[in-house]
Amino acid sequence: GDRPLVIRNLQVGNTAYRLSDTGFRIPPGETRLLRITFAPSFAQTYSTQVSFETNDSQQPTGSIFLTGRGVSR
Q: Can you give the pLDDT at residue 39?
A: 96
* pLDDT tens column, 44-72: 999 999 999 999 999 999 999 999 999 98
* pLDDT tens digits, one per residue of 17-38: 999 999 999 999 999 999 999 9
pLDDT given for residue 5 in this prediction? 97
DSSP symbol at 58: T
pTM of the prediction? Answer: 0.87
Amino acid 1: pLDDT: 75
